[in-house]
Amino acid sequence: MKSGADFIKVLGSGGGTASTISWLPAFRPEEFAGLVDETHRLGRRITTHCLNAVTMETVIDAGADKLAPAGVAITPTLSVGSYCVQAMHAKETLTPADEAFLRRWQGMLETNLTHPGRLHEAAAR
């Protein structure tokens, strides 16, 4: 905020970042509440990167700004799924583990590609 940030985004749960765990909240409920309180006290909005329901419930309970009503721009990370699928297709041969990885990421990418449209329909930026 000191450098002029308009809003704050915190890593509410891990996922894709070294030493994080996607199925656990990154902070205790009172820590989320403190982040939200301080951000709002300074006149900014706050949102979180969430990959599990517990974290989503915790940050909503803490008063984090909901994306569409707060006008927070959403930045879906579609490049990771695309990269994983392309990397597997570039291999000459796939091991059974590679094939399972490819199926998993193809499914996630297909699902993730529907999210921006759904968010737009919900009036999110």
pLDDT one-digit tens code per residue, 100-111: 999 988 988 888
Give the pLDDT confidence of 80-93 residue by residue, as tens digits.
888 889 999 999 99
What is the mean predicted confidence (pLDDT) over 66-75?
Answer: 72
* One-letter amino acid for residue 75 of the chain: T
What's the pLDDT score for residue 16? 67
pLDDT at residue 35 above 90?
Answer: yes
Q: What are the φ/ψ torsions at residue 111 (nearest 5 degrees)?
A: -65, -45
Helix (H) or strand (E) holding 120: helix 96-121
CB 43 within 8 A of CB 81: no
Tens-place pLDDT, residues 41-60: 999 989 888 888 888 889 88
**Mean pLDDT to the nearest integer, 15-43:** 88
Does the pLDDT value for residue 112 go beyond 90? no
What is the per-residue DSSP string for 23-87? TSBSS-HHHHHHHHHHHHHTT-EEEEE--SHHHHHHHHHHTPPPHHHHTPPP----HHHHHHHHH
Residue 20 clears pLDDT 80, i.e. is over it: no
pTM over 0.75: no
